[in-house]
A and B are shown apart, each in its own frame.
Chain A
Amino acid sequence: MTDLADVTGAAPPPIPPDAEEGLALSAAIGSIWTGSRLLIGACSFLYAAFAFTFFYLRSLNSHGLWHPEEQHPSLLIGTSATVVLLGAALLHYYGVWRLRNGLNLDWRVAAITALGLGVLSVGLQVYQLTRLNFYPGSSGYASVFVGWVPVHVTLLLGALYWLETLVARSLRVRNAWRGRGDLGGAVTPEATRLRASLDAFNYFYIYLALVGVAFWFLFYVID
């Protein structure tokens, strides 16, 4: 916003009311951009607490109880949940790319599918917690695993709520923007805000999927 006025000389003319609307819009778009990146930063520190816990307890191996041999969560379910989530994020990324080319229906289908796949990933992770062959307090590894999954699922549910509101809004307003480029093309303030929100969500969803992959490596490869 600050580059909009040259203030090195005498006082410039006041900002007219309609220009204030433009400032408000650019502020709203910037806020969505900054907010989503900051959200990723905050979530990274939360996830880092679990990663630190993983390596700290692993290196201490108190009483030889970091990870007893027989304790393994289901590789099939864990891998499926991770792959489904990654697929959902990539599909949505592709859908947004198609939206930018004016293919609104493609994005809607991709978004609704990504929503469904996200729910499936959540379901798989919750189901996995009910099929464990160890108790939460039976080792350091067990604690980290049982502790991490609900956190990831909660953040994922938050992301899915975000996607649901975007899809619902785009469906509700599609008639108003029909013939004007629909969501992908309309140049109204609200359409611009909605696209910025979509872009921000895209980042966050991909981020969550990558975190899922990183912890999959911790739990199933490094363990």
Chain B
Amino acid sequence: MAIDMSNAIGVEVPASEQVPGAPGELPPDRRRGFQLPALFGPGLLRAGVFAVLGYLLGHWFGNLLASGYQQVTNSGDNNTSIILGYLGGTIGWVAGIGVLAYPLFKMTGKEELLAPQRRAGTSRYFKYTLDHKVVGIQYMVGMIVYFLTAGLLALAVRTELLSPTSHVFGPGVYIEIVGEHGTMMMMMMTSVVVGPFGNYLVPLMIGAKRMAFPRLEALSFWLTPAAYVILLSSLWLGGFPTGWTGYATLSIQAGQGMDAYVVAFGVMAVSIILAGFNIIVTVINLRAPGLTWGRLPVFVWGVMTTSFLMVLATPVLFGGLYMLAMDRTVQTSFFTDTLGGSSYLWENLFWFFGHPEVYILALPGFAIVLEMLPVFCRKPIFAQKVAIAGMVGVSSLSFFVWQHHLFDSGINPDMRPLFMLTTELISIPTGFIFLVGMGTLWKARIRLTVPMMFCMGFFFNFLLGGISGVFLSDVPADTTAHGSFFVMAHFHYTIMGGLLFAFFGGLYYWLPKMTGRTMNQRLGKWNFITMFVFFNSTFLPLFAVGELGQPRRVFEYAKRLQTLNDWVSISAFLLGFAILLFVINLVWSMIIKPVATVENPWHSRGLEWQTTSPPPPGNFERIPIVLASPYEYGNPEALPVSDLLSPGRAPVAANGANTPTGQATTAGPDTERTS
């Protein structure tokens, strides 16, 4: 409908004039005027001050608006002031960090060109930056902090469940902790791969020098600390009793801690949409010449299909959260049956996001392991196109399964078979992806490095999680297992056993690329072994606990289940110790005793390994031309993956090994085709 203006005919400006500063092209505008002292410049300090001021301003405005409402005077709870306070705080935070400077500058008609970010040192990680690599590291640290916080809350849950009768927490505090743990984990997990690895690696893997919209990328990260603080602050406001699912009408009746849930999840939703949006646009438009869709790394495919889910499903969650906020503030009745609304409306809106969310979590895990498998099997991915078709199939079908979460809560019984069918159908493309992994492993001479161990752990855990999921998609089985620890064990197997194992494997694999330093392999192996053993020791018995009738989110249970619960709790503490090993390894290898990595330590053909570690500003000295698939291991006739030949680096050998010159390697290249 609109007119394509990109090829308008007009007066040609000579090429010589098309450089910045030449008569035909405009020089970048510079901001002039009074310069603030560095202390008050964009940064964490100013962001903190602005966040507090924004909160106070929003809170005051909310009181001004709503303090006279009968609802407020009767209950003493002014949800409007809390929600506006949080929103004001978030706006103050992003303004303080420097996000709003450019949009305001742009309103005057001025334009800043993107300059390479040349600031070095640790301070750049605490600033608003347009360098996708810095944003990737910021995300990585942020997600680890999220994960550790939510993990400590999980240990608190298991502490309470040590005994069915003696209590550490009351029932109210217990449900607050459960809700906080679940919400923080789910919010974090959504971005755990796309945030750190997507932002850092996608431009490198597609031969681009940056992301398509670097400012949106930076904003998507800087919203996450705001969401983290807001969600944690819920504990000071009495928490929220609904768990991460926020079911109405309990969510409307809950105290002010629920406001924190609404705003934190809403802020995170915006962050998720922006992150996914940027990834899709970048992959479609910034691929290097020669990087056809068939040559696109499977990791990029996985992140892109995930991003589509993020961009399309999350707005529905945002809409639902907005309606919840409206119900709690201006007294609309979206979710109140007696006033023309319906509590089931929330369940539909929430799960329309919530079930694609499950695949937002699963697909990046598969993407990571499928990216690593050929490297450590030294053979191409088995049936790569089938894996990609599986990813596209999973992401498409995931929009048609959400009603299975309503099997036991009032869905029209005639609709159950339909959604049982769609849910069971989705196991087919998921199975495709799993079988592609198995096919790649078939008859391979596996290098059992730490990342590869996590890949193997992923497949074992996901198999159990996936199969137990098929049970839950079946209406009769779901009717008995619904709301029990069986469901809890199932999704922990898919999310923690699947996604997080892949995430840890990815960290061991790509941290040398991101930091130029290598993780301690011995500690890494202990990290994997303890994590794998204690993860299974924690969650496998929970299937039995659930089948024996213990419900989720309840702080007391039948005495006959104490032995199993104690076993699980002790295993959970040991699992915490296993994760502590990772933190120790990270701090030791990256900060205390850093060991420089060799170039391309895994002998990968991936484009991201064809530049230095860590990559320079701009990633590549020039845009590469991609010549072949990155997975042609063992094919003696394969072209090198690209035409890049960085100084001091050997050419990419035709057989797939990128042999460093004069450098020791951690493992010898194994180019023999084994199948």
Q: By the criterion CB–CB under 8 Å, are A7 and B626 in contact? A: yes
B13 CB contacts on chain A under 8 angstroms: 180, 186-188
Q: Is A221 an interface residue (CB 8 A)?
A: no
Q: By the criterion CB–CB under 8 Å, are B292 and A12 in contact? A: no
User: Which of B10, B323, B340 sits near A62, CB closer than 8 Å?
Assistant: B340
Report the nearest B residue to A139, measured CB to CB. Answer: B340
Q: Is B311 an interface residue (CB 8 A)?
A: yes
Complex CA–CA separation, A45 to B309 (angstroms): 11
User: Which of A2, A50, A140, A198 sits near B340, CB closer than 8 Å?
Assistant: A140
Q: Is A38 an interface residue (CB 8 A)?
A: yes
- Cβ distance B556 to chain A, nearest Cβ, rounded Å: 35
User: Which of B11, B107, B311, B339 sits near A41, CB closer than 8 Å?
Assistant: B311
A203 CB contacts on chain B under 8 angstroms: 1-2
- Cβ distance B357 to chain A, nearest Cβ, rounded Å: 14
Q: Is A78 an interface residue (CB 8 A)?
A: no
Complex CA–CA separation, A100 to B320 (angstroms): 42
Q: By the criterion CB–CB under 8 Å, are A146 and B338 in contact? A: no
Q: By the criterion CB–CB under 8 Å, are A137 and B281 in contact? A: no
Stretch at the interface among A79-87, A112-120, A160-168, A212-220: A160-168
> Contacts A53-B334, A137-B332 known; A188 to B25 CB distance under 8 Å?
yes
- Contact residues of A between 168 and 183, Cβ < 8 Å to B: 168-173, 176, 179-181
> Contacts A96-B5, A179-B11, A199-B3 known; A136 to B332 CB distance under 8 Å?
yes
Complex CA–CA separation, A63 to B208 (angstroms): 58
Complex CA–CA separation, A172 to B106 (angstroms): 11
B337 CB contacts on chain A under 8 angstroms: 62-63
> Contacts A34-B285, A63-B340, A176-B26 known; A165 to B9 CB distance under 8 Å?
no
Q: By the criterion CB–CB under 8 Å, are A42 and B273 in contact? A: yes
Q: By the criterion CB–CB under 8 Å, are A165 and B315 in contact? A: no
A12 CB contacts on chain B under 8 angstroms: 625, 643
Q: By the criterion CB–CB under 8 Å, are A45 and B10 in contact? A: no
Q: By the criterion CB–CB under 8 Å, are A15 and B281 in contact? A: no
- Cβ distance A119 to chain B, nearest Cβ, rounded Å: 14
Complex CA–CA separation, A206 to B3 (angstroms): 12
Complex CA–CA separation, A14 to B288 (angstroms): 12
Report the nearest B residue to A61, measured CB to CB. Answer: B340
Q: By the criterion CB–CB under 8 Å, are B12 and A187 in contact? A: yes
Report the nearest A residue to B106, measured CB to CB. Answer: A165
Q: By the criterion CB–CB under 8 Å, are B11 and A181 in contact? A: yes
A135 CB contacts on chain B under 8 angstroms: 331
Q: Is B212 an interface residue (CB 8 A)?
A: yes
Q: By the criterion CB–CB under 8 Å, are B107 and A168 in contact? A: yes
Report the nearest A residue to B289, measured CB to CB. Answer: A5
Q: Is A48 an interface residue (CB 8 A)?
A: yes
Complex CA–CA separation, A165 to B334 (angstroms): 37
Complex CA–CA separation, A71 to B218 (angstroms): 45
User: Which of A1, A50, A139 sits near B339, CB closer than 8 Å?
Assistant: A139
B311 CB contacts on chain A under 8 angstroms: 38, 41-42
Q: Is B316 an interface residue (CB 8 A)?
A: yes
A93 CB contacts on chain B under 8 angstroms: 1-3
Q: By the criterion CB–CB under 8 Å, are A187 and B326 in contact? A: no
A66 CB contacts on chain B under 8 angstroms: 340
> Contacts A34-B284, A35-B212, A57-B340 known; A147 to B322 CB distance under 8 Å?
yes
- Contact residues of A between 117 and 173, Cβ < 8 Å to B: 135-144, 146-147, 151, 161, 164-165, 168-173
User: Which of B24, B315, B332 sits near A146, CB closer than 8 Å?
Assistant: B332
A181 CB contacts on chain B under 8 angstroms: 10-11
Q: Is A105 an interface residue (CB 8 A)?
A: no
Stretch at the interface among B342-350, B473-481, B602-610: B342-350
B405 CB contacts on chain A under 8 angstroms: none
- Cβ distance A71 to chain B, nearest Cβ, rounded Å: 10
> Contacts A38-B277, A189-B18 known; A57 to B345 CB distance under 8 Å?
yes
Q: Is B44 an interface residue (CB 8 A)?
A: no
- Cβ distance B286 to chain A, nearest Cβ, rounded Å: 5
Complex CA–CA separation, A35 to B322 (angstroms): 24
Q: By the criterion CB–CB under 8 Å, are A27 and B24 in contact? A: no
> Contacts A143-B334, A168-B107, A180-B10 known; A31 to B342 CB distance under 8 Å?
no
Complex CA–CA separation, A50 to B316 (angstroms): 9
Q: Is A111 an interface residue (CB 8 A)?
A: no
Listed residue (B10, B25, B348) with the most chain A CB atoms within 10 angstroms of its CB: B10
Q: By the criterion CB–CB under 8 Å, are B332 and A31 in contact? A: no
Q: Is A99 an interface residue (CB 8 A)?
A: yes
- Cβ distance A122 to chain B, nearest Cβ, rounded Å: 17
Q: Is B108 an interface residue (CB 8 A)?
A: yes
Q: Is B566 an interface residue (CB 8 A)?
A: no
> Contacts A1-B286, A35-B213, A143-B333 known; A62 to B9 CB distance under 8 Å?
no
B281 CB contacts on chain A under 8 angstroms: 31, 34-35, 38
Q: By the criterion CB–CB under 8 Å, are B319 and A50 in contact? A: yes
- Cβ distance A108 to chain B, nearest Cβ, rounded Å: 12
User: Which of B1, B23, B315, B349 sits near A43, CB closer than 8 Å?
Assistant: B315
Q: By the criterion CB–CB under 8 Å, are B332 and A143 in contact? A: yes
A31 CB contacts on chain B under 8 angstroms: 212-213, 281-282, 285-286
- Cβ distance B339 to chain A, nearest Cβ, rounded Å: 5
- Contact residues of A between 27 and 50, Cβ < 8 Å to B: 27, 29-31, 34-35, 38-39, 41-43, 45-46, 48-50
- Contact residues of B between 265 and 311, Cβ < 8 Å to A: 273, 277, 280-282, 284-292, 311
Complex CA–CA separation, A129 to B15 (angstroms): 54
Q: Is B637 an interface residue (CB 8 A)?
A: no
Complex CA–CA separation, A31 to B277 (angstroms): 11
Q: By the criterion CB–CB under 8 Å, are A14 and B643 in contact? A: yes
> Contacts A169-B111, A173-B26 known; A185 to B318 CB distance under 8 Å?
no
User: Which of A1, A176, A192 sits near B6, CB closer than 8 Å?
Assistant: A192
Q: By the criterion CB–CB under 8 Å, are B315 and A30 in contact? A: no
User: Which of B212, B286, B313 sits near A45, CB closer than 8 Å?
Assistant: B313
User: Which of B8, B290, B318 sits near A100, CB closer than 8 Å?
Assistant: B8
> Contacts A49-B315, A50-B319, A165-B106 known; A196 to B5 CB distance under 8 Å?
yes
A168 CB contacts on chain B under 8 angstroms: 106-109
- Cβ distance B178 to chain A, nearest Cβ, rounded Å: 27
- Contact residues of A between 92 and 110, Cβ < 8 Å to B: 93, 96-97, 99-100, 102
A39 CB contacts on chain B under 8 angstroms: 277
Q: Is B312 an interface residue (CB 8 A)?
A: yes
Complex CA–CA separation, A35 to B217 (angstroms): 13
Q: Please list the 3 inter-chain residue pairs (A to B) with the smallest Cβ-Cβ separation, ordered nearest first.
A: A185-B10, A181-B10, A65-B340
8 contacts between A and B (CB under 8 A): A20-B622, A62-B340, A62-B341, A136-B331, A138-B339, A147-B323, A169-B109, A203-B2
Residues of A near any B CB (own CB < 8 A): 1-2, 4-5, 7, 11-12, 14-15, 17-18, 20-21, 23, 27, 29-31, 34-35, 38-39, 41-43, 45-46, 48-50, 52-53, 56-57, 60-63, 65-67, 93, 96-97, 99-100, 102, 135-144, 146-147, 151, 161, 164-165, 168-173, 176, 179-181, 184-190, 192, 195-196, 198-199, 202-203, 206
User: A27-B212, A190-B26 provided; 18 other pairs, C-beta below 8 A?
Assistant: A1-B286, A2-B288, A5-B290, A12-B643, A27-B285, A31-B212, A39-B277, A49-B319, A65-B340, A137-B332, A143-B334, A164-B107, A179-B11, A185-B8, A188-B25, A189-B25, A190-B25, A198-B5
